[in-house]
Structures are given as C-alpha cells and as structure tokens.
Amino acid sequence: MSESLERLQKVIAKSGITSRRKAEQLILDGRVKVNDKVITELGTKVSAKDKITVDEIPLEKELFVYYMLYKPTGVISSVKDDKDRKVVTDFLEGVEERVFPIGRLDYDTSGIILLTNDGDFAHLLMHPKHEIKKVYNAKVKGIPTKNELNKLKKGVMSNQERLKAVHTKIVSVDKKANTALLEITLHEGKNRHVKRMMEQLGFPVLKLKREKYGLLTLKGLKKGTYRQLTPYEVKQMKSLASQNVKQ
C-alpha cells in the first residue's frame, strides 16, 4: 500500500505551530529540515515517517479535535476580534488545541457551531457540493404563505447571488404580533443567507438560531456550553459529506 504524502507546508501548518502561509516562509528561510536535510522547495512532499524539524525542534503532531458549541448571540464566530468582543473560542475553557470555527454564524445569531483544528474536515463540511444540511429556526416579521416560502426552492436574488432554501416549514404564527416562526433548511451558507433571503421575500428576520448541522443537534447543550464530538459522530459527518448523502 502506498503511503500518503502531503506537502511540507501543510504538515507544518497542521501541527498547529503556524499558518500555512507562514510555514511556507519558514521553508523559504531555510529553517525547516526533513530527515536532517534543509529543504527550501515549497512543493516537497513528506509522509508520516519523515522526521521534520523547524529551527531544530521536532514537529509535534497535534491530534485532531472536534467540538460543538451552543453559540449565544452577541458573540463573534472567530478566534480573535479587533474590537475585543467575545469570540466563540472564549467559550472553550480547557481546550488547549488551536481550534477555529467551521464557517460562521452572525453576531446576533445563536445555535450550533463546530470547531476543529482539522482543516480538511472543515473544508469537507463547508463545501456546498457536499450538501450538509443546516436547519435554522427563524422568527420573522409578517406571516408568509406556503406559496411564498416555496419561492425559496428556486431561490431569490440578492446582490447578484441566488439564495436558496431546500426546505421550509411554518412552525407557528402569532397573528396578534404579526410574526411567524419558521424552520428553514439550507445546503449552503452564504453570507447572511437566511436574513438576506427572507428580506427579499418581504419577511425580515427578527431572531435566528441554528438548530441542526448535518446529523448534529443542540440536544443536551445549554447556551454558551460545548462538548466534544464522539469519534462516531466525526466519522458519520465525514461519510455524510463525502458521499454527498441527502439527509
């Protein structure tokens, strides 16, 4: 069986010591050795058997970790904020690995967000062609009809982008307040997808929460708490994405 080969800069970045771009610079600067030989070629491929050092320090292979956070509103989906607002990683007390969020939820959106240090996993889940379903609960101003919501299957245009929903459901209506609670399922996650789509339809979103991501739900989590995904859940999510299974 052939060994799996990966680009040197990718392996360095995966170890968690720096970004891929900075890893490239380390290589170009001659600070990286593979099996005791300085390597300055960016295209060099390495396998798990190769001994890699940066400034003579052996690379520790960081294990991949996967978490699910129930993001409250008023939190940025990032690892750092230049305005010093709360970010999702502030909630991962006790997590040592350098994880980042998979995709994003708006500052004022709550719900399920996944975090990992596994770039390939993140890429797999985020690619729209893998059609991972994300289910949102949206409280909107006004009461749409089923017909109006059905327009979302074909999509509505916003800023030259077609925004679609794969499924919509009216959960409840409040005639007095003139609001409705909807369940909206997306395959993609364009910027402010649900809000822009509903705005175009004439029913602005008042409150938004992501309830489900693929097979994962918020069950058992309180706002602001997190848990590790089980190895089985990780495996299931990978297989869901790579088979492009319609859930």
Site residues (CB under 6 A) for ligand URA?
105-106, 109, 192-195, 208
Task: Using the minimum distance from each CB to ligand URA, give the nearer residue, 192 or 238.
Answer: 192
From 106, 118, 120, 174, the catalytic residue: 106
- In whole angstroms, what is the distance from residue 178 CA to residue 209 CA? 20
We find the least distance from the C-beta atom of residue 205 to ligand URA, in angstroms, to be: 7
Does residue 106 have an active-site annotation?
A: yes
Task: Using the minimum distance from each CB to ligand URA, give the nearer residue, 59 or 75.
Answer: 75
Beta strand 109-116 with 205-213 is parallel
We find the least distance from the C-beta atom of residue 194 to ligand URA, in angstroms, to be: 4
Structure tokens at 50: 């190769």
Whose structure tokens read 């409280």? 139
We find the least distance from the C-beta atom of residue 115 to ligand URA, in angstroms, to be: 15
What letter represents residue 22's amino acid?
K
Task: Using the minimum distance from each CB to ligand URA, give the nearer residue, 12 or 101.
Answer: 101
**Looking at the annotation, which residues are catalytic?**
106
